[in-house]
Amino acid sequence: MLSSVVSSQPKFLKALSCQNEGTPPVWIMRQAGRYLPEYQVIRKKYPLEEMFQKPELIFEITKQPLDILGVDAAILFADILHIPLSLGLDVSFPEKGGPTLSPIIASCDDLLQVCPRPIEESLWFVKEGITLLKKEIDAPLIGFCGGPFTVMTYMTGKKVKKWLYSDPESAHDLLQTITDQSIAYLQMQIQEGVDAIQVFDSWANLLSRTEFVRFALPYLQQIVKAIEPFPTILFSRASSHFVEEFVSLKPHAISFDWTYPLHEIRRRVPETIAVQGNLDPELLYAAPRVIEKETLKLLQSMEGDPGFIANLGHGVLPDIPVEHVRTFVDTVKGFSPRSGGGHRTEDGLGVSS
């Protein structure tokens, strides 16, 4: 019975269970965004804040990569700064520069300004967007949140490490508040029907291993445990430097940056945990023939791995040509593993014996 259930699943969900066979699934972080002309048409009509808070636009933009690129999973059009919004902060996205938050929560003296609100009240538009999507799309839908350390980084105006060292106790208090709110947010997404969750602790690359274990890992662990056994992917920049730490959390999958070849990282990850990645996003500036060649190298190195999800090592960049993104996706979707299944040799090239 279990095997028949698994065989009927989309290949993305099979890979998360480390039970996929043949061609790996492919999707791209930031796959709905500025590089798509169809997205730009919408962006000219609405400020980004409004786009995030209109369920019908969440629906339309989330769907775009499915329709345009044919990827194997959709990721909810949302932002990792929805959590500060639910904590009573104002979040805006100016035309130039990064997002701005007000007030900045820079020390324990500012904690009284952090006021958690019920998720279904403050982020109702996410709930309604998911409802619209689940009525329409067949592909798996990925929900997400930012890692607590990353969210705190934005809330402090990117002066987070000063707080960590000057008053670690109150820093932990804020991290716990963010974690509690993030768990409620993810549980709402799961209840509404998303098929998997990814946690983006993007700014964890600011931390040493010791700092990561102290200020990021415990809160990621709480999130994983709160929603298990729901399929969960963990990602951070510099994830390849924290392999054992991420593995210790026992997520369904870990998404890796491009610092090391993925087949080398795979040797340090148990076969029961899927791996996702890990081409350098800037590779997509190259000519299509180069993109195809490098993508095939990745695919051949991971051939026969039932827990491999093809992706970039970070998000697609806003000025990448759409055709270059399509080359990457089409190369993965057109990849034909050798009959009888591939296997990875010691050099990771998957050459038949």
Angstrom distances, CA of residue 346 to CA of 37, 247, 263, 278: 43, 22, 9, 19
Cβ-contact 224, 241 below 8 angstroms? no
Decide: residue 83, CB within 10 A, 0-12 exposed, 13-18 middle, 19+ buried: buried
**Quick one: pLDDT at residue 347?**
38
Decide: residue 93, CB within 10 A, 0-12 exposed, 13-18 middle, 19+ buried: middle
Cβ-contact 189, 126 below 8 angstroms? yes
Overall residue count recorded for the chain in this entry = 353
**Residue 97: HSE in the Cβ half-sphere, 13 Å Cα cutoff:** 5
What letter would DSSP give residue 109?
G
Cα separation, 87 vs 122, whole angstroms = 9
Cα separation, 233 vs 212, whole angstroms = 18
Question: Residue 187 pairs with which residues in a beta bridge?
Answer: none
pLDDT in tens, 131-142: 999 999 999 999
Cα separation, 137 vs 131, whole angstroms = 11
Catalytic residue selected from 30, 110, 260, 280: 30
**Quick one: pLDDT at residue 343?**
37
Cβ-contact 220, 242 below 8 angstroms? no
**Quick one: pLDDT at residue 310?**
98
**Quick one: pLDDT at residue 95?**
80
Residue 119 backbone phi and psi in degrees, to 5: -60, -45
**Neighbouring residues of 232: CB distance < 8 A, sequence distance ≥ 6:** 196, 197, 198, 199, 223, 224, 251, 252, 253
Positions in the chain whose pLDDT score sits under 50: 1-4, 339-353
43 has catalytic annotation: yes
237 has catalytic annotation: no
Catalytic residue selected from 43, 214, 280, 285: 43
Neighbours of 168 (CB within 10 A): 13
Catalytic residue selected from 35, 154, 185, 219: 154
Cβ-contact 242, 212 below 8 angstroms? yes
**Residue 46: HSE in the Cβ half-sphere, 13 Å Cα cutoff:** 14
Q: What is the largest CA-CA distance in the chain?
A: 65
Written as one string, the DSSP assignment of 197-243 is EEEE-GGGGGS-HHHHHHHTHHHHHHHHHHHTTS-EEEE-TTGGGSH
**Quick one: pLDDT at residue 339?**
45
Burial of 183-209, coded b for 16+ CB within 10 Å and e otherwise, reads bbbbebbbebebbbbbbbbbbbebbee
Beta-strand runs (E) in 267-325: 274-279, 308-312
SS3 245: helix
Pairing verdict, β 74-75 and 90-92: unpaired
117 has catalytic annotation: no
**92-98 contacts: CB < 8 A, separation 24 or more?**
92/49, 93/47, 93/48, 93/49
**Quick one: pLDDT at residue 7?**
64
**Residue 279: HSE in the Cβ half-sphere, 13 Å Cα cutoff:** 32
**Quick one: pLDDT at residue 102?**
96
Catalytic residue selected from 72, 79, 257, 305: 79
34 has catalytic annotation: yes
Domains and CATH numbers, the chain: 19-333 (3.20.20.210)
